[in-house]
Amino acid sequence: MSVVTAPASALRIGPIELDVPVVLAPMAGITNTAFRRLCREYGAGLYVSEMITSRALVERNAITMRLIQHHESETPRSIQLYGVDPATIAEAVRIIVAEDRADHIDLNFGCPVPKVTRKGGGAALPWKTTLFADIVDRAVKAAGDVPLTVKMRKGIDKNHLTFIDAGRAAEDAGAAAVALHARTAGEYYSGHADWAAIGELKQAVTSIPVLGNGDIWSADDAVRMMAETGADGVVVGRGCLGRPWLFGELASAFGGEGVHVDATLQFVAAAFRRHAELLVEFFEDEDRGCKDIRKHVAWYFKGYPVGGELRAALARASTLQEIDDLLGTLGDAPYPGAGAEGQRGRAGSPKRTALPDGWLDSREIGSDTGEMMRGAEIENSGG
Ligand SMILES: Cc1cc2nc3c(=O)[nH]c(=O)nc-3n(C[C@H](O)[C@H](O)[C@H](O)COP(=O)(O)O)c2cc1C
């Protein structure tokens, strides 16, 4: 299978020079150090942590402190923060920088989950222009020499778009790059990402890199997105679920070679096994690691002749030995082509975005906004 290639191009995010313009999208519950290491073993680029709540970091929550750890092989190290309060976010950034815990920090303004937007957090926040600018400004100042980037959606819904204003505000505040998931919060993960919006953002934000995100399922898609939008780089999320070698294909496409991995079943099984082993190492707990790999089973074996019983057994295994025994019964099968490609992970249908009362009446914050947003900084499941 041939792949479209693009000329070699690097991406610079502040002082970080990447050989390929590729970023692993932060994904809660997925992009822990185990998955990041696995992806990196195949490719190149920037691999962002799952979202970390700034308040939990400031409070030094034990789980959070574990989530922000990187393996020694991970460089540059990247942490994504989520928050709503400028002071707390700035303090979280200060801790990361003072304790030398990352080389790059990303701020998440893309979360569409109702329990977050209902309080004015996530993708609802950039609607409040001064609050958004204040957060980015204080975070950039706290970050000092560590580049700070912003990840956002198009806006709340098609009548309340925020990405152009937010992109410009982030640029003015000194952000090192902006990334756009080209859907509104209301679209959730439905339909198609609106790549034209990435092109519009690229026109509006001219002094820092603009990264495009949404619906990159293959290296061809990544090359096409950059060509169609003028984006400086791509952010790849669901497309690499169960397919960490996509990062190798991306590096190859941007390196001008365009090698496609026609993954045989044994190749996939080896990647799955390695992922499980890295999860066990990350959790320092075999049972935990084997439980965590369960959510990846369907993604890895999508399109391959692996029966329901074996899939179910893999999703029940609680030791690496059990996983090995099950994988040992698989045999081999050639790359199945289209069946193994395409969409995977979250999809869903559009939803009306839950917001605080009166949120859309003004783009300024009012005296009661702080009160309204209390509780917006809670554990949630991403962007
Ligand atoms: C399981 C899952 C968890 C996610 N968690 C986060 C997150 O923690 N932070 C964030 O900014 N976006 C998060 N996202 C959104 C992705 O980073 C990305 O913007 C989105 O999936 C669109 O890109 P894609 O089409 O390449 O998947 C998450 C997405 C998924 C599917």
Could you please report the per-residue DSSP string of 81-147? Answer: EE-S-HHHHHHHHHHHHHTT--SEEEEEE----HHHHTTT-GGGGGGSHHHHHHHHHHHHHHHTTS-
pLDDT of residue 369: 85
Count the residues in the chain. Answer: 383
Number of domains in the chain: 2
- Mutate which of 23, 181, 381 to test ligand 1's pocket (most atoms within 8 Å of Cβ)? 181
Burial of 333 (0-12, 13-18, 19+ CB in 10 A): middle
Tell me the average pLDDT of the chain.
94
Weakest-pLDDT range from 7-11, 59-63, 255-259, 275-279: 7-11
Q: Check pocket membership of 25 for ligand 1, CB cut-off 6 A.
A: yes
Q: Do 296 and 249 share a structural domain?
A: no
The stretch 7-22 carries a mean pLDDT of 86
The stretch 200-209 carries a mean pLDDT of 98
In a domain, 254, yes or no: yes
pLDDT of residue 69: 96
Give the pLDDT confidence of 311-350 residue by residue, as tens digits: 999 999 999 999 999 999 999 999 999 999 999 998 888 9
Q: Check pocket membership of 32 for ligand 1, CB cut-off 6 A.
A: no
End-to-end alpha carbon distance in the chain: 33
Residue 203: count of CB within 10 angstroms of its CB: 11
In a domain, 348, yes or no: no
Q: How far is the CA of 231 from the centre of ligand 1 (A)?
A: 19
pLDDT of residue 284: 96
Q: Do 299 and 233 share a structural domain?
A: no
pLDDT of residue 368: 84
Q: What is the dihedral of CA 209, 139, 381, 238, to 10 degrees?
A: 10
pLDDT of residue 225: 98
In a domain, 344, yes or no: no
Give the pLDDT confidence of 136-177 residue by residue, as tens digits: 999 999 999 999 999 999 999 999 999 999 999 999 999 999
Q: Do 57 and 179 share a structural domain?
A: yes
Is pLDDT of 45 > 70?
Answer: yes
Q: Do 126 and 237 share a structural domain?
A: yes
Contact 246, 236 (CB under 8 A): yes
Q: How far is the CA of 82 from the centre of ligand 1 (A)?
A: 13
> Which CATH number characterizes residue 290's domain?
1.10.1200
Closest by CA position to 341, among listed 225, 214, 242, 233: 242
> Which CATH number characterizes residue 209's domain?
3.20.20.70
Does the annotation mark 111 as catalytic?
yes
Q: Do 251 and 139 share a structural domain?
A: yes
| CA distance readout (Å), 285 to 52, 203, 290 | 22, 48, 9
The stretch 301-305 carries a mean pLDDT of 97
In a domain, 359, yes or no: no
Q: Which of 311, 336, 361 is the last residue of a domain?
A: 336
pLDDT of residue 96: 98
In a domain, 341, yes or no: no
Per DSSP, the three-state class of 219 is helix
Q: Give 8's pLDDT tier (boundaries 50, 70, 90).
A: very low
Q: Check pocket membership of 23 for ligand 1, CB cut-off 6 A.
A: no
pLDDT of residue 383: 62
Q: Which of 233, 260, 287 is the last residue of a domain?
A: 260
pTM over 0.85: yes
Q: Check pocket membership of 78 for ligand 1, CB cut-off 6 A.
A: no
Q: Do 298 and 168 share a structural domain?
A: no
The stretch 19-37 carries a mean pLDDT of 97
pLDDT of residue 374: 78
Residue whose CA lies nearest to ligand 1 atom number 21: 237
Is pLDDT of 21 > 50?
Answer: yes
In a domain, 362, yes or no: no
Q: Do 177 and 56 share a structural domain?
A: yes
Q: Are strands 160-161 and 177-184 parallel, antiparallel or unpaired?
A: unpaired
Q: Check pocket membership of 26 for ligand 1, CB cut-off 6 A.
A: yes
In a domain, 60, yes or no: yes
Q: Give 5's pLDDT tier (boundaries 50, 70, 90).
A: low
pLDDT over 70 percentage in the chain: 96
Give the pLDDT confidence of 245-278 residue by residue, as tens digits: 999 999 999 998 999 999 999 999 999 999 999 9
In a domain, 352, yes or no: no
- Mutate which of 238, 247, 295 to test ligand 1's pocket (most atoms within 8 Å of Cβ)? 238
pLDDT of residue 3: 59
Q: Which of 239, 260, 281 is the last residue of a domain?
A: 260
Q: Cα–Cα distance between 273 and 320 in angstroms, integer?
A: 8
Q: Which domain holds residue 278?
A: 265-336
Beta bridge mates, 79: 105
pLDDT over 90 percentage in the chain: 89
Q: Do 310 and 255 share a structural domain?
A: no
Q: Do 37 and 94 share a structural domain?
A: yes
Is pLDDT of 2 > 90?
Answer: no
Q: Do 212 and 293 share a structural domain?
A: no
Q: Do 154 and 37 share a structural domain?
A: yes
pLDDT of residue 376: 79
Q: Do 282 and 191 share a structural domain?
A: no
